[in-house]
Amino acid sequence: MLKINDMLDKKNYLKIKYLENESIEKIIFEMATICKPEKILILNDSDEDTEFVRNLALSNGEERKLKNQNHTIHYDGYDDQGRDKQHTRVLLPKGKSISKHINTIEKQSGLKEIYKILENSMMGKKMLVRFFCLGPLDSKFSISAMQITDSAYVAHSENILYRSGYEQFKKLKNKNNFFHFVHSAGALNEAKTSINIDKRRIYIDLEGNRVLSVNNQYAGNSLGLKKLALRLAIHKANNENWLSEHMFIMGVHPENKTRTTYFCGAFPSACGKTSTAMIPGQTIIGDDIVYLKIWENGECHAANIESGIFGIIKDVNPKDDPVIYKYLNSSNEIIFSNVLESDGSPYWLGMGKKHPQIGINHSGKWFEGKRDSRGNLIPLSHKNARYTINLKNLENVDPFAENKDGVPVKAIVYGGRDSDTNVPIAQSLSWNHGVFLGASLESETTSATIGEEGKRKHSPMANLDFIVVPLNKYFSNHFKFGIALKSQPIIFSTNYFLKNENGDFLNSKKDKKAWILWAEGRVHNEYKAIKTPVGFIPLYKDIAKIFKNSLNKEYTRQEYEKQFTIRIDNLIAKNIRIQNYFSYTKLPEQFYQEQSAQEKRLNDFKKQYNKNNISPFELDVNPKL
């Protein structure tokens, strides 16, 4: 009978035996038997193995060097440019269900299907086995994760984005409490992109703490440690009373003060998440995924599970994103994905620089005016084109980014996008009210979606695509988490996208700094506030002073009034939308209590002021707030 040592040469077999973990051996043996690679390579934390992966990605054509020798470029297939929601499914035991928003498949039939697709998928290719740690090493946040892939691009990306964890795996002592991910890009064309996209599958096995993925290369589908690991962590967190969230962590530094206040923030796509985390003068710990846990002192601590950024490159330019733009033009290691390459240089949409008329992009040879088989114009760079970088070389990285205890979180921000309803910044009335605000997040679609502009999409905690437990359980865990804390972070809501009657934005992109600095001051009880039905809002004199000091900008009474007017009818309409949206499922009692209380406050306000739109100058200021 074939054994694991029959599949490995002596050097690689010893790397596995060194871990002393039968579960790891069993997984590798099973997947190698199915996928049939020409060779199995076990990679540890050494610089030698890290460099080997990068060179393999170049030699096999998955990446190419650019003019800057530390920069490479990778292309996903033309129809492999984003997360495949349709074919991403949770494997469930027969007869079990979760929620209607979760795409599922019966476990045994799902495994049978994907095993069949994976069969012989690695023939002629190397199986790369890589070990990582989600979260800081040797920490209460740490979760060990093993990646098996036949894509050197995937392994190279994860080397940049995550902490090496081979040594961490040694400490498991033959336990199987780790995540593992199996990926095959499948058959490739001459451009080294997956061709059998009709058989693309991403199946999530919650019981097995694993994800099986095949016939894709786009990182959201192929890099197991990213959004696929987020789903496994959400399942784990909701059974262990901690939170795994789609959030950034940033250090907020008020003007002329020496303190740092740590914020987490969840924003749906195109709502300002990364730009908030990268506000000038502030520091970043992470921009995408965090674990939140209750620390020994009863405070909320958070850690970034990643050590890099897989960021959208569209509109990164020296004016709006100076720190990232500077980094993308540095000599640091970078993987560019799905941008235009011409004469060894990368070009992307919105970079603030004139671009060539010809080059290579995700469609192959490209020229201005090129159309695809459907007749659609192909832009020079895909709108979801990306950059992959390590955080350690960013000039604004926080000094505690690698702290094994994480950082104490004093505020959580939920950011939505609407043109006519929510104020730019509001503090929740309580922890439970803040959870309700997060659960009620909405985001308007933009002109990038044909025929859909202005349509509101519901996105609870900006996490809907990744929640793999019933919403009742997910929201309940948030309420319970707050109750268990001795010191709760203050929850805020933001909206950077209010417009006037002509469709122009009421504030600029840079104004978000003022909202965040006001929130930081509220954490430290430095500002009074006005109580409204949807939360506490700033006084004009305070926010105007922040604008002057931090942005060197005059903030007029007229601007304040337009932005912080309480739009009662619009807020009531939102409350009704939220009620209708969740009508299909049972939610925690706290949710309904908060929804009912907010509805009553809004109706009472309307009766008291006898109008739909109430100026903040008409509202009472409570000096105790």
Query: Hey, which residues are catalytic here?
Result: 271
Q: Say which DSSP state 392 is in.
A: G
Please give the Cα distance from 187 to 249 (Å, whole number): 39
Asked if 189 contacts 356 with a C-beta cutoff of 8 angstroms, the reply is: no
SS (H, E, C) 168-213: HHHCCCCCCCCEEEEEECCCECCCCCECCHHHCEEEEECCCCEEEE
> Which tokens is 121 given?
């998928």
Asked if 128 contacts 183 with a C-beta cutoff of 8 angstroms, the reply is: no
> Which tokens is 504 given?
């122009």
**Residue 66: which residues within 8 A CB-CB, separation 6 or more?**
72, 73, 336, 341, 344, 345, 346
Cα dihedral: 80, 383, 452, 499 (round 10): 150
Asked if 364 contacts 191 with a C-beta cutoff of 8 angstroms, the reply is: yes
The DSSP element (H or E) to which 261 belongs, if any, is strand 261-266
Phi, psi dihedral angles at 408 (to 5 degrees): -75, 125
What is the residue whose two structure tokens read 């934005």?
505
The DSSP element (H or E) to which 72 belongs, if any, is strand 71-74
Asked if 579 contacts 458 with a C-beta cutoff of 8 angstroms, the reply is: no
Longest dimension (CA), the chain: 83
Task: Identify the three-state secondary structure at position 515.
Answer: helix
Phi, psi dihedral angles at 160 (to 5 degrees): -80, -40
What is the residue whose two structure tokens read 């502009």?
453
Asked if 442 contacts 457 with a C-beta cutoff of 8 angstroms, the reply is: yes
DSSP assignment of 144-177, as one string?
A: EEEEEES-HHHHHHHHHHSEE-HHHHHTTTT---
Residue 23 pairs in a beta bridge with: none
Residue 614 pairs in a beta bridge with: 566
The CA-CA-CA angle for residues 325, 327, 330, to 5°, reads: 115
**Residue 435: which residues within 8 A CB-CB, separation 6 or more?**
475, 478, 479, 482, 491, 590, 591, 594
Which amino acid would we find at residue 142? S
Please give the Cα distance from 432 to 479 (Å, whole number): 6
